[in-house]
Structure 1
Amino acid sequence: MRAGDSRAAGIDAVRRGVAGRLNAPRPAIVETAPAGEPRVVDRELVMVVREEWRVVDRWWTDEPVDRRYFEVVLESGRNVCVYRDGEQRCWFTQRA
């Protein structure tokens, strides 16, 4: 999948109402290592992956959740939570 496709899918999610909530996820541009962990988030180098976890929930509904989360420290020193949404096939960030 090209980065533009992922970004467009994320923007569509925001238009559907994800925006407006406190600490709402925002579409992100993410470059990954071969194993899938983020190496660059929104053009900023990832210095440390502090934690990784997966959430699979609501699989029985029309809106299942399948996400792989990473808590990372960026080159600027910011802590960011970034996740890949397996259903939408795109990346999002949230403040950690």
Structure 2
Amino acid sequence: MSRPPQTPSSTSLRPIGLPRPIEVRADGDGRPVALTRTGTRGRRAAETPVESVEEVWRIAEAWWREAPQARTYYRVVLADGRPLSIFYDDALGTWSEQPY
């Protein structure tokens, strides 16, 4: 006898790749020079220098809506060699890490 397909409950589903807020120190041109992440328990990590900015791109979506999204993305390499994608949200004035 076969079982009917199981439907996962809403508590078992977890979205992936959601942006996480970070603190960024930027230079006079708005480019990131250091960042501070917050851990899962709310603890702030030490500030991490940005070694280089590898790529910059801008996204402007849904410009026809009341609240369009406009973000500037940066692909950075941290001082310890780790690559990271971060963005500045123009509408909210906040920085976030974008995991992939």
- Say whether 1:83 aligns with 2:87: yes
Structure with the larger RCO, 1 or 2 (CA within 8 Å, 6+ apart): 1
Residue matched to 1:35: 29
> 1:71 & 1:82 partners in 2: Cα distance?
7
Query: How far off its partner does 1:29 sit?
Result: 0.3
Unaligned runs of 5+ in 2: 1-13, 37-46
Q: Which residue of 1 aligns with 2:8?
A: none
Q: Which runs of 4+ in 1 moved over 2 A?
A: none
Question: TM-score when scaled to structure 2?
Answer: 0.72
TM-score (norm 1): 0.74
Match of 1:50 in 2: 54
| Cross-structure match for 2:20 | 26
**Separation in 2, partners of 1:48, 1:34:** 16
Partners of 2:15 and 2:83 in 1: how far apart? 20
Gaps of 5+ in 1: 1-19
Q: Supply the RMSD in Å over aligned alpha carbons.
A: 1.3
Percentage identity across paired residues of the two chains: 31
- When the two structures are aligned, how many residues end up with a matched partner? 77
Q: Distance in 1 between matches of 2:65 and 2:98?
A: 25
Larger Rg: 2
